[in-house]
Amino acid sequence: MTFRTRYTGLIETYRDRLPVSDSTRIISLGEGNTPLIKLNNISELQDEQINFYVKYEGLNPTGSFKDRGMTMAVTKAVEDGAKAIICASTGNTSAAAAAYAARAGITAFVLIPDGKIAQGKLAQAMMEGAVVLQVKGNFDDGMRLVKEIANEAPVTVVNSINPYRLQGQKTAAFEIVEELGYAPDFHYLPVGNAGNITAYWIGYSEYACIKGEQATAACTHCNNVCPYINEQIITARPKMVGYQASGSAPFMRGEMIDKPETVATAIRIGYPQSWDYAWIVREESGGWFDECDDSEILATQKLLAEKEGIFCEPASAISVAGALRDINLGKIPKNSCVVCTLTGHGLKDPDTAIKQSTAPVIRVDAKLSQVKSAILENMIE
C-alpha cells in the first residue's frame, strides 16, 4: 500500500505562491486542506439543479478560516524578529492569534469588544495564554486603538490590514479550484472587514492570471505584475457575492456605520478595514453585496445543522442564507456551481445555538421502559 504524505499546513503546500524562503521558520498547526462538502438535502438546490458546495473552514485548527492568515502573519512576524503580536477581534482572530503566538513562543495581545464575543472564542484566547484586553466599546474602537498603539509599542499588528494575512487566506481559493477542476460560477462569503472576500479574489485571480499581467488591483503583493504565476490554471473567475448582517451592513448603506448590531457577533463591524479592496472585488468579479436579517441568519444556521449535519457559527450561515435567497429569486442560472464559505465552527458560540434550538431535551429516569417509550414516541416515520 502507498501511505499518504503527512499534511503539514498551507505554507508548505503553497510555498511557491507565498512570500517565504527556504530558511523561513514556519509556524503552523496544520491549517488548510478543509473539506468542500456538496449539499444534498436542501430542497431548493435539487429543484433548481444547482451544484452547491460549502467550504467548511470551521475545521481549521482553531475552528475558523483565520488560521490560514495567521500562519502567514505569525511566520513573517517571527522572521522579522517580533516578540509580540496584537489584534482587535470579534473573537476568531484573537483565538487564532493566541494559538499561533503560543506555537511560536511569543506574546499575543488581543483587544475584544465588551461582552460581545462568543464564549468559545474567549475560552480559546484565555487558554492559549493571550493577554486579553476587554475594550469598553465595539470592534471598530479596538481596531482604531490597535492601529494607534502599533506606532507606540514594539508589537506587530496581525489584523487583516497585515498583507500577509490575505496571502495566507487566498489559499482557500486554490484548494477549491484544485478539487473542482475549475472555479465556481458564484462564491458567497460573509463580509465583516472584507479581508476574506479580498483574499479569495486574489487567490482565484492568481490562478487565472497570465504571465506579465497583474492578477487583480486588489492584490497587495503584485507590484503590478504577479510574482507567483507559473501557469494559467483557470480561465474564468467566480462572481464574488458578499453578505452582511442588516444591522451591520456598511457596504449596503454605502458608508461606514457607527453602531453595528447583529446576533452574528463575528461580523458586528461598522468600519470595514478592506473597504476599498472589497469594492474592487465587486467591480472586477461582477458580483454584488446584499444583506440578511438576524432571523434569516439563525434559521439558515439551523437548516444546515438539521438537514446536512453541518454546524457553523451564525456569521458563517449568512453565506448560505444569501445564496438560497438568490437562488429562490432566480438570480442564479440552473446548473450553476455555487460555493459558500462557512467561516467558523458552530461550537464557537454554544449560547446562541442553545438559545435558538427548539429540540426537546427529554428527561427520563434511568429505566429501560422510559428510554424505550421516549424512542417510540419520537421516531420519525
Binding site for ligand F0G (CB under 6 A): 64, 66, 89-93, 160, 190-196, 266-267, 313, 315-316, 343-344
- Cβ proximity of 54 and 344 under 8 Å: no
Residue number with CB closer to ligand F0G (143 or 229): 143
- The SS3 call for residue 186 is strand
| Residue among 211 and 259 whose Cβ is closer to ligand F0G | 259
Nearer to ligand F0G by C-beta: 90 or 352?
90
How near is the Cβ of 54 to ligand F0G at its closest, in Å?
Answer: 13
Rounded least distance, CB 316 to ligand F0G, Å: 5
**Least distance CB 68 / ligand F0G (angstroms):** 11
- Which stretch of DSSP H or E encloses residue 339? strand 337-342
Q: Which lies closer to ligand F0G via its Cβ, residue 260 or residue 344?
A: 344
Measured from the CB atom, the residue of 28 and 90 that comes closer to ligand F0G is 90
Grid cell digits, residue 36? 468542500
Considering the complex, what minimum distance in angstroms separates the CB of residue 142 from ligand F0G? 9
A 10 A CB-CB count for 261 gives: 15
Residue 56's nearest CA partner among 64, 48, 47, 44 is 64
Longest dimension (CA), the chain: 74
The dihedral built from the CA positions of residue 223, 225, 229 and 235, taken in this order, carries a sign that is positive
CA dihedral 122→84→220→56, nearest 10 degrees, is -30
Phi-psi bin for 47: left (phi > 0), alpha (psi -120 to 50), beta? alpha
Q: Choose among 83, 39, 91: nearest CA to 65.
A: 91
* CA gap 155, 303 in Å, rounded: 42
Indicate the residue type of 308.
E
Judged on CB neighbours under 10 Å (0-12, 13-18, 19+), 47 is: exposed
Minimum CB separation from ligand F0G for residue 22, in Å? 30
**Nearest-approach distance from CB 269 to ligand F0G, in angstroms:** 6
Q: What one-character-per-residue DSSP string does 28-72 give?
A: -SS-----EEEP-S-HHHHHTT-EEEEEEGGGSTTSBTHHHHHHH
Kindly state the smallest distance separating residue 213's Cβ from ligand F0G, in Å. Answer: 26
Nearest approach in angstroms of CB 9 to ligand F0G is 20
- Least Å distance between CB 224 and ligand F0G? 25
Quote the cell numbers at residue 207. Answer: 490562478
Instruction: Using the minimum distance from each CB to ligand F0G, give the nearer residue, 131 or 233.
Output: 131
Is the Cβ of residue 92 or residue 171 nearer to ligand F0G in the bound state? 92
HSE (CB half, 13 Å, CA atoms) of 108? 32
CA distance 230 to 206: 10
Pick the closer one to ligand F0G by CB: 64 or 138: 64
Q: CB nearer to ligand F0G: give 34 or 90.
A: 90
- Residue 61 or residue 195: which is nearer to ligand F0G going by CB? 195
Separation of alpha carbons 20 and 76, rounded Å: 8
- The least distance separating ligand F0G from the CB of residue 258, rounded to whole angstroms, comes to 17
